[in-house]
Structure 1
Amino acid sequence: MALTSDEMNYLVYRYLLENGFTHAAFALGHESRVDGAKVAEGDEKIPPGALIAFTQKGLQYCEIEANLNDDGTDVDADFSILSAKDLLSHTVDELKAIVEKRRNMSEEERKALREEEEREMRAKAEANGIKIENDVEREIKADEVTILDGHTSEVFICAWNPTKQLLASGSGDSTARLWTIPAGPSGREAQTKLSKPKVLEHKSDEGDAVDAMDTDEAKNGEFTADGSKQKDVTTLDWNADGTLLATGSYDGQARIWDASGKLVRSLKMHKGPIFSLKWNKTGEYLLSGSVDKTAIVWEVATGAMKQQFAFHSAPTLDVDWRDAQSFATSSMDHSIYVCKLGDDKPIKSFKGHNDEVNAIKWDPSGTLLASCSDDFTAKVWNVKKDTCVHDLNEHEKEIYTIKWSPTGPGTDNPNLPLILATASYDATIKLWDVDSGKCLHTLEGHTDPVYSVAFSPDGKYLASGSFDKNLHIWDVKDGTLIRTYHGEGGIFEVCWNKEGTKIAACFSNNRVSVLDFA
């Protein structure tokens, strides 16, 4: 299908409006007349960020094309990640030559390439006014890291089992995997002791193929080229005692597995991809949020839907339990609702963000709710008040994720203050004092968007992962950078094991890395 000049102009026009360039948008709209063109009639069906999304998909297509054999078949070697600069400035034949050269590199040449990337990263950081000390002791070497290799697409999420050294990972290859991590130090020796992971295949049931496809699903890209539903594993969560793992998928199903990898239940009611799901503290219920604009509470024992909450007017992006019976949901409609089982209306609504709310998290006591948004702000709410307690507005770009420290009243670390961490597309992390609403530290060291942060179980350290390929570990008390691991792909998620001795990170190059922290 060809893209007309009017349609392209309209996508640019929408991009300018969405990013606040109203004068430029007005000039383009007036000159090209796209604001009155027929393409504008379907404005409400064009998702935010469409121009960026389509451009990224085009670059991904070029990347895939460069990695294929001349006859169009898949390659047997590792998929080679190419930079946007490579993809935009080279022809397909030139890109194929780059990929071939990288595949034939010796280990010494790969090491030299990583060192060159590190130098470029430092130069980019310094150009942005970020000082990175050249501390050899701080760097975690590749041979100190255990690589979990087996996924065939990006690994979006990972989570440690709360009771054993078992790591779950979820990928765009339609599988989750369970990795048993060897005791002792990570690295080369641990690599030799690795057993094969349990593969949790997210298979489509009958009726999920072409005969079930409706027009809206097809338009939204919910189906693959062969007509089967996409089954990317978008989210996963362990129950409190580590006996069950829940996964959410792009096909709209939630699935429950036991710790051995056996499928226990499939939960089918959503009519769109699931982007968030959480167990309640007792493990009696599972909560899921979907693109279909709803949240559902499931009875785990039977697999039945306990209650569906349909209050949002746009996709539900995140959900989080407050206690065993109540929870919060956030959405692309800019709103947050607090709901309770048995009630047919929200018990509280929070409205204050002026863009989609990407993530929400209750503090350990269930008193405060933190939220973050594409409007560059994070906010802290209290159910006893209608307006936010704190408006945290020092980031310069969208805030993708937030995390509370496991400290303060009701935690295992009651003598340490409660802290909120916010991570942004502006490449920084900020640590906030929740009593005063003031920023304690701005953690500067990344050079690309920060997608994930995680506090250590004792609350003294923070791990962060970015698309600059770096995993950083920070001292929460003074905000200093104490350890760094440079991987070979962008990082989607980081997480600590229950003892706080190991950190896992999942990457865009289809791998998961496990490293030690002492």
Structure 2
Amino acid sequence: MDSNFNGDLPPTYSNQKDSLRAPAISSQEMNLLILSYLQDSGFNHTAFTLNTEASLPLTKPNGPLERGLLIKYLQKGLLYDEIERSVRTDGTIVPYERPLRLLKDVDVQDFSIADASIPQPPPPALIAPMASDRPANAQIIVDPSTQIANSKRKHADSSDEADDDSSASMDTEKANDKYRRTARDVNKVKVRSSNNGPVPTPPKPKFKPGEAPREQMKKLTKAEAIWLEGHMGNVYATAFNPKYSNVSASSGADGILKIWTLPAVGREMKGKTLEVIDCSQLKGPPRKGDGRDITTIAWSSDGEMIMTGAYDGSVWIWTRNGDILMEKRVHKGPVFSVKFNKDGTRALTAGLDKRTIVWDIQTFDIEHQWQYHMGSILDADWLDNDILATAGGDRIIYVFKCGDPEPIKALYGHTREVNQVRWDPSGEYLASGSDDATIRVWKFSKEEPYDRRPQPDADCIRVMRGHEREIGCLIWAPQSNFLDKPLLLSGGMDGHVRLWNAESGELIWKCKHSKNHVFTADFSPDGRMLAVGGADGRITLWQSITGQIQKDWITSNGLYDLRWQAPEGNRIIFGTKNEGLAVIDVSKMPAC
């Protein structure tokens, strides 16, 4: 305090200072200040843990917090304490010769003894998902004997190592895992009604699908599928060209994008004679952990460009013939999603660094950039040429519009990380899948100006429950004359697949597909069939409406990605662990 301070104090100060009320501050505000300090200081993991445990994304501060705000308030508090210590009860001032130091001069309470004036955290039994995601009279019961490791891995789970040889434990050390984060143990929660009545169960399926016993499944042989050789290690992403149906692409742990030219439909395929273009992102043989893994790929709608995102944060755009158009390394961490917009004039990239970037394809420069998520961005999808949705570890779904510096929508409701967001073909619905084992469907009016800031759950029309574990994949059925309603397929870490009427929330059918995880699925171009691949190596073709199995195979290793050829729909391409890449001509396969 300044020793020259001679200001007169009010004569009644000594009587009033003890009765002054301290400004009110909530625990959420305190947590937000601490979170801001942790982020400013680079303690990202600690900040993520605090954000998750305190449910901070569900709060709504008025705008971003000023940098260093916690330090600023602490300094002001020290000044106040210094003034208070300097003023005696008779009003005389005894100035301090030096500024107060936070921990040496301020009394530090022994917090090992509970203070009734200090709010205590709730016991674990009271920590539960938000109220909107359970019945109003639900009571949360914690089973202390059961703990699950919530290590989020799209293609791996450490528990898989205990499975038998027929189950593929997906590689836990590879980079395509868009959910790869430090494992944390959480209490397994059970929901029980307070009136001892049962919690409402999910609706019964309209159809009962067929399910072949595992020992009766046909093993997929090299004679029945064309195995495309060349990748070194796991193949994480596959994609047929939307314009040139005999062209496909694949990428994986070796950091190489391969563009394959298959024979025309109807002609025999021979894997060793196929034309292939290698697009190498790095020179030299791959080294474990060097970050070259290509985690995601996407074609432009005209089929002339393909984009890749890698674990080292790099983003590349190539021509269909393998020429480099763009090479950027802007992201500070793995890239989990790359997508072209509908007309191919823009492309988005998003990933671990919480940033969503939109690129101008004419100049290959950054056109827009947002950083509103408080956790990693796990998925993103375009609605049209201007509007996109993102989702991630903070449990929030943001909708952005190019040209608007702020989100035009923020959708709340999920209680755990959101793994998938997908717009339906009509653009009317947005589906999201989460670690909370639910699927939410959000409705958007085509006439809506997209400038309304909704309240939580304001646009959520359906919450579909039934999966027992995290949602691993979401796929919309294509628009076709065969289908008269919006169908949504979900696959979970519980090994189940479920087909829903997204408009009504009706469960059409469900089936136990894999022993462990379902990571990938795709509809045929006409929507009549769907293919599903699991971590145990099973590939199944179903009739989409009835759920009846048409073909069922088992491979030696688990599947990472699976895509159906369009528009013919005769072929399916899939990438696996270790075995690489394969193409099946479903029109030539005998039925089960």
Same fold (TM over 0.5): yes
Unaligned runs of 5+ in 2: 1-52, 54-124, 130-139, 171-208, 446-453, 588-592
Residue 57 of structure 1, CA deviation = 11
Residue 59 of structure 1, CA deviation = 6.8
> Structure 1's 355 and 280: CA in aligned 2 closer, same or farther, altered over 3 A?
same
Q: What residue is the counterpart of 2:144 in the other structure? A: 24
Residue 192 of structure 1, CA deviation = 5.6
More helix by share: 1
Which of the residues 384, 391, 397 maps onto 2:463? 391
Whether the 8 Å contact between 1:404 and 1:421 is mirrored in structure 2 is yes
**C-alpha distance in structure 2 between counterparts of 1:268 and 1:494, whole Å:** 28
Residue 277 of structure 1, CA deviation = 0.9
2:517 counterpart of 1:454? no
Whether the 8 Å contact between 1:181 and 1:194 is mirrored in structure 2 is no
Residue 447 of structure 1, CA deviation = 2.3
TM-score, normalization: structure 1? 0.70
Residue 436 of structure 1, CA deviation = 1.2
Code of the residue aligned with 2:144 in structure 1: it is: A
Whether the 8 Å contact between 1:81 and 1:509 is mirrored in structure 2 is no
Q: What residue is the counterpart of 2:254 in the other structure? A: 173
Q: What residue is the counterpart of 1:199 in the other structure? A: 278
Q: What residue is the counterpart of 1:90 in the other structure? A: none
> Structure 1's 426 and 59: CA in aligned 2 closer, same or farther, altered over 3 A?
closer
**C-alpha distance in structure 2 between counterparts of 1:275 and 1:52, whole Å:** 11
Q: What residue is the counterpart of 1:508 in the other structure? A: 577
Residue 510 of structure 1, CA deviation = 4.0
Which of the residues 151, 154, 158 maps onto 2:238? 158
2:226 counterpart of 1:146? yes
Q: Residues 484-506 of structure 1: CA distance to partner in whole angstroms, max 9, x if unpaired? A: 22222100111111110100111
Whether the 8 Å contact between 1:141 and 1:485 is mirrored in structure 2 is no
**C-alpha distance in structure 2 between counterparts of 1:230 and 1:310, whole Å:** 23
**C-alpha distance in structure 1 between counterparts of 2:283 and 2:407, whole Å:** 34
Which of the residues 414, 418, 426 maps onto 1:357? 418
**C-alpha distance in structure 2 between counterparts of 1:317 and 1:267, whole Å:** 20
Code of the residue aligned with 1:403 in structure 2: it is: I
Residue 56 of structure 1, CA deviation = 4.1
Residue correspondence of structure 1 range 14-413 to structure 2 within 5 A: 22=142, 24=144, 49=151, 56=158, 131-132=211-212, 141-164=221-244, 165-184=246-265, 190-191=269-270, 194-203=273-282, 229-383=290-444, 386-407=458-479, 412-413=480-481
**C-alpha distance in structure 2 between counterparts of 1:82 and 1:426, whole Å:** 14
**C-alpha distance in structure 1 between counterparts of 2:570 and 2:405, whole Å:** 44
Code of the residue aligned with 1:495 in structure 2: it is: R
Whether the 8 Å contact between 2:297 and 2:307 is mirrored in structure 1 is yes
Whether the 8 Å contact between 1:454 and 1:496 is mirrored in structure 2 is yes
**C-alpha distance in structure 2 between counterparts of 1:308 and 1:483, whole Å:** 45
- Aligned-residue sequence identity (percent) comes to 30
> Structure 1's 389 and 402: CA in aligned 2 closer, same or farther, altered over 3 A?
same
Which of the residues 510, 513, 520 maps onto 1:445? 513
> Structure 1's 295 and 52: CA in aligned 2 closer, same or farther, altered over 3 A?
closer
Flag the structure with larger Rg.
Answer: 2
Whether the 8 Å contact between 2:525 and 2:564 is mirrored in structure 1 is yes
Q: Residues 116-169 of structure 1: CA distance to partner in whole angstroms, max 9, x if unpaired? A: xxxxxxxxxxxxx99526998987654121001111111111000112211101
> Structure 1's 192 and 282: CA in aligned 2 closer, same or farther, altered over 3 A?
closer
Code of the residue aligned with 1:427 in structure 2: it is: G
Q: What residue is the counterpart of 2:180 in the other structure? A: none
**C-alpha distance in structure 1 between counterparts of 2:344 and 2:400, whole Å:** 18
Paired positions, count = 399
Residue 414 of structure 1, CA deviation = 7.1
Code of the residue aligned with 1:198 in structure 2: it is: I
Structure number with greater CO (CA < 8 Å, separation at least 6) is: 2
Code of the residue aligned with 1:471 in structure 2: it is: I
**C-alpha distance in structure 2 between counterparts of 1:300 and 1:229, whole Å:** 28
Whether the 8 Å contact between 1:185 and 1:516 is mirrored in structure 2 is no
Task: Give secondary structure in 2 for the equivalent of 1:242.
Answer: coil
Q: Residues 298-341 of structure 1: CA distance to partner in whole angstroms, max 9, x if unpaired? A: 01121100011101001000010011101000011111000001
Q: What residue is the counterpart of 1:106 in the other structure? A: none
More displaced, 309-318 or 480-489?
480-489
Which of the residues 539, 551, 556 maps onto 1:471? 539
**C-alpha distance in structure 1 between counterparts of 2:360 and 2:585, whole Å:** 37
Whether the 8 Å contact between 1:348 and 1:383 is mirrored in structure 2 is no
Task: Give secondary structure in 1 for the equivalent of 2:269.
Answer: helix
Code of the residue aligned with 2:261 in structure 1: it is: T
Residue correspondence of structure 1 range 398-437 to structure 2 within 5 A: 398-407=470-479, 412-413=480-481, 416-437=484-505
Task: Give secondary structure in 1 for the equivalent of 2:327.
Answer: strand
**C-alpha distance in structure 2 between counterparts of 1:56 and 1:136, whole Å:** 28
Q: Residues 454-473 of structure 1: CA distance to partner in whole angstroms, max 9, x if unpaired? A: 00000011100001111110
**C-alpha distance in structure 2 between counterparts of 1:237 and 1:360, whole Å:** 16
**C-alpha distance in structure 1 between counterparts of 2:571 and 2:427, whole Å:** 28
Unaligned runs of 5+ in 1: 1-13, 29-46, 61-79, 86-128, 206-222
**C-alpha distance in structure 2 between counterparts of 1:325 and 1:140, whole Å:** 43
Coordinate RMSD, CA, aligned: 3.7
**C-alpha distance in structure 2 between counterparts of 1:321 and 1:51, whole Å:** 24
> Structure 1's 414 and 23: CA in aligned 2 closer, same or farther, altered over 3 A?
closer
**C-alpha distance in structure 2 between counterparts of 1:458 and 1:131, whole Å:** 23
Whether the 8 Å contact between 1:182 and 1:194 is mirrored in structure 2 is no
Q: Residues 149-196 of structure 1: CA distance to partner in whole angstroms, max 9, x if unpaired? A: 11111111100011221110110111111111123558xx52266335
**C-alpha distance in structure 1 between counterparts of 2:156 and 2:421, whole Å:** 27
